[in-house]
Amino acid sequence: MKTNNKLHPVFDYLLDCIETEQENPSKLDKINFVLENFNSEANFLNNKKRYPNLQYRFAYWLQGAPSSISIEYWNDEIIKLAIKWGAIPENATENQQYKIISNYYNFMAAKFFQLCKQNKVDYSFLY
């Protein structure tokens, strides 16, 4: 399954993982909530120098299990998601599983920024 498809389940998954204090938030509310949290928690000058690439900086932040977005972090569950989304077969080799797990946070960061673009959310303030 191609992941650049606007209907790919990763986009709904990401939106479902966003936890705001707002009652019945819209897609835009959820996306902006995550961007604001990321900006205040991990987008400070030292991190920008340490991790100049925004996607990598965001992926690194996701690894810290931020409270605003709760994506899966257990390896077994990550593999289950990949199988569910058709990224690897059910009988995937250890090498295939390793590739999925090692790229998981970078993949999620990329998909989150694609979600921003799909919904015309400006995140240029993060640079």
Q: Write down the pTM of the prediction.
A: 0.91
- Residue 109 CA to residue 104 CA, distance in Å, equals 9
Between the two ends of the chain, the Cα-to-Cα distance in Å is 31
Per-residue pLDDT of the chain (127 residues; tens, 9 = 90+): 455 566 789 999 999 999 998 999 999 999 999 999 999 999 999 999 999 999 999 999 999 999 999 999 999 999 999 999 999 999 999 999 999 999 999 999 999 999 999 999 999 999 9
Residue with tokens 């920008």: 48
Instruction: Give the pLDDT score at 6.
Output: 66
Q: Who's near 10: CB < 8 A, 6+ residues apart?
A: 3, 85, 108, 111
